[in-house]
Structure 1
């Protein structure tokens, strides 16, 4: 066996595979705010098992709604307490706004982070200007799964007086899960893992949604994992056994802000020791130290590490004179809306008070409904009103207007926006959409007292809501 450290060539395979807050809008609506915007910020925490150690949670949240045309800030909110829990995986809010086009910005887990814009320190406040948000950068010397900065942005067309907008939050880091084994030809050899070094880990990122721009300056470092106890590597498992391994089975996980090389043609791409991401795996084979190197690629074959992706890496140590095999699966942290199959929607729906069951609401008697979407995993639903001027969906306490697939139900509460007037006939249609399609929440033949045996006034997909005294 060779006793000196050896740098080896790599064979690389890429395989596709009650909230406490500060709010700008406390008090009465400002003049001209005659529309309702229902927001949902989602981490997709209910989908799959890729998220670990709080990666799918909000511990702090900054939300801004700007008038997209004139830049006016119409709403902002900073949340640092998700009582009774320490964090949340979903944020919903129903906000009164003007009927102009909106630009929504959101930054999750901002508390305690180091932000700059144009080289100057920035403190996130309710009044942070849009121009600063567009230039924001964040720096982190260390990373933790329960403190990952996320960003969201969406331009919303206010096509009616009541509009829903769902925003999928984007994690600014990528995660590397290292599953380390020895090759079958080393079955009878003692292969001890000494350390794994992640080179060119990026410590600074722009805070713009879906942006590949890289900050300038000295933004790279190395991070080393050393086993807490002597670790002898197992023989690489077969594909079936390996497929059952979960993130918690990994030897270690590294985080990094995105590392984009700028190359666009895989055929001409090449690793760069000073910038592109790579791994050094240090082992002892029968006591002899050996170092192997492995360069990371994305699915396009570029030496890039992308944000909001999980790199599941099967790392196989070969003969000391051989090679290090890296089998890399690049996966999205959570399934996107466009990838969810909605053929088998499963939900329960019911009214929980007299206002809901009659379709009549007053200032003292709201309409409250229970809705629980249990399939498909990762799907988003939204409650809607056709009249957002005279009625509103509450987004406070236990009540939400949007949600994600989960085991326990959500509660939807409808209240009047204005005091009762005997001369005003105020009505609205209430309905729920899943992937933009109306759900049958009021089916015929349900044994109810309304037309065609429906439980509530209205149609199969809509419930008629009236204001009474």
Structure 2
């Protein structure tokens, strides 16, 4: 099933602890802003031990000839399965490559800000330690449009092997049968960084991995084995594609059993009808169903898709963002000004109320501010607003502006006496940016305003 990338609105700055924010890009000439929404979640029944999470990302953007036009590194704790950011890209950027969890596969010291496409895809990632489920290497590539939406296939570069062990009725009936260890020979520790079914590195690195002291009770195989059935052992491995020589280290399982105190060892290969040559492909789960007999072992393999081929990074042109703002009450005076008066009981004061409808872009922060915070204040900010920051999401947000002191005229710069006034400004902070920019909230210059980015509010005598 295709995963629609609908990410709930959250305050990116509050939830993310960045440990790395390296970035390289071109200047401001010939650029456009594009919004990224990233989701790596597989179907719930196929996720195990948080193997849908990532702790680091690097985005590479290339031109048609493979020249690097922008590189952005991101890392954060804890791991997550979604991410969103607005990127400012050169118009020449036509291809994107995204790598997740690069820090856990010996790539951190080889990836650079200026790397071109050929240099990046010729790299080989290597595991120096054991595979951690929440740090599995992921890779994706897609064409970058000049506008509109973009999606990218993000896949894990590992295979997952879930080993289930059962016994025949003759073996387990009346006996205590336990799995003591499961061993995977031929676990692959390096992989190419080329997208797609890229085959093996020129010099594959393999090892034998053993999970022991399991104390896993063996029973008769049920009529149906589902994801809810706990495996005796789980392994991760980079892709294995058999070569042409007999010396290839084919993935092989060895199961050691304890049958009423006596040790029994059985060996089998991970092969199925689709992969009789024992392939272990990227982004694939191999559910090994091993049934032990007194005389041997029989094996069947269910091949499951991790379903990230349907996970997308969606891009939306920030210029398509819509922002609606308008007074909920008519002007307080006949001359068309937005006015307020002071009242010692703010709830009974005459205030100006506004309603905001913010529908895009997702992940942006909207800040309501007053240019004169001495004589005016917000008496109420609610409905999608937290601490003065309106969070985008299409839900209405309300604010009310009031005077903070009894009416008095103030002296202007030219010495003239005028009514106190303030300007209401709504600013946008794009996801991933530290800057706010004023929005066009009053294009018709209503209520005496001479600036399309503000509403002018004046205090009048009660």
1:197-255 per-residue CA deviation (whole Å, 9 max, x = no partner) reads 10111111012221332112251111111124x4442222232xx33634xx1111011
SS in 1 for 2:357: helix
Whole-Å separation in 1 of the counterparts to 2:116 and 2:441: 36
In the aligned structure 2, how far is the partner of 1:190 from the partner of 1:357?
64
Q: Which residue of 1 aligns with 2:357?
A: 356
Unaligned runs of 5+ in 2: 1-12, 313-322, 326-353, 370-388, 396-426, 446-451, 455-462
**Cα deviations by residue, 1:405-458 (Å, 9 ceiling, x for unpaired):** xxxxxxxxx9768999999xxxxxxxxxxxxxxxxxxxxxxxxxxxxxxxxxxx
Show the counterpart of 1:53.
49
Are 1:253 and 2:227 matched, yes or no?
no
Structural RMSD (CA):
4.1
* Contact 1:362–1:415 (CA under 8 A) maintained in structure 2: no
The residue that corresponds to 2:126 in the other structure is 139
Match for residue 370 of structure 1 among 378, 386, 393: 393
Query: Do residues 107 (structure 1) and 89 (structure 2) align?
Result: no
Counterpart pick for 2:79 among 87, 106, 109? 87
Tell me the residue number matched to 1:278: 252
C-alpha separation between the residues in 2 aligned to 1:338 and 1:96? 23
**Retained in 2: the 8 A contact 1:277–1:295?**
yes
Structure number with larger C-alpha Rg: 2
- Residue 68 of structure 1 aligns with which residue? 64
Q: How many Å separate the matches in 1 of 2:359 and 2:185?
A: 64
The aligned counterpart of 1:438 is: none
- Aligned mates of 1:40, 1:73 — CA distance in 2: 22
State how 1:270-309 maps to structure 2 within 5 Å.
274-298=248-272, 300-302=274-276, 303-309=278-284
Separation in structure 2 between the aligned mates of residue 113 and residue 358 of structure 1, nearest angstrom: 39
Distance 1:419 1:23 in 2: 34
**3-state SS in 1 of match to 2:195:** coil
1:449 alignment counterpart: none
Residue 267 of structure 1 corresponds to which residue in structure 2?
none
Q: For the residues of structure 1 that align with 2:86 and 2:132, how far apart are their CA atoms?
A: 32
1:60 is paired with a residue whose SS is strand
Tell me what 2:72 maps to: 77
How far apart are the structure 2 equivalents of 1:179 and 1:313? 6
TM-score for both structures, normalised by structure 1: 0.62
Following the alignment from structure 1 to structure 2, what is the Cα–Cα distance between the partners of residues 178 and 334? 20
After superposition, the C-alpha distances for 1:42-91 in whole angstroms (9 at most, x for unaligned) are 2125x32322223111211111112234x443332111225xxx122112
- State which of 299, 303, 325 in structure 2 corresponds to 1:330: 303
Contact 1:309 1:333 in 2 (8 A): yes
For 2:212, the equivalent position in structure 1 comes to: 226
Output one character per residue of 1:238-293: Cα deviation in whole Å (capped at 9) or x when no partner.
32xx33634xx111101100001158xxxxxxx95742211111224444433222
Hey, what does 1:429 align to over in structure 2? Answer: none
Determine if contact 2:159/2:286 at 8 Å carries over to the other structure: yes
Name the CA shift for 1:392/1:68 in 2 (closer, same or farther; >3 Å).
Answer: farther
Aligned residue-pair number: 338
Alignment check: 8 A CA contact 1:362 1:468 kept: no
Counterpart of 2:160 (choices 168, 172, 175) is 175
Measured in 2, the distance between the counterparts of 1:89 and 1:328 equals: 28
Alpha-carbon spacing, 1:100–1:363, altered in 2? closer, same or farther (3 Å): farther
CA distance in 2 between partners of 1:193 and 1:105 (Å): 43
Distance 1:362 1:175 in 2: 43
Q: Partner residue of 1:457?
A: none
Contact in 2 for aligned 1:43/1:168 (Cα 8 Å):
no
CA shift for structure 1 position 395: 2.1
Aligned residue for 2:114?
A: 127
- More RCO (CA 8 Å, sep 6+): 1
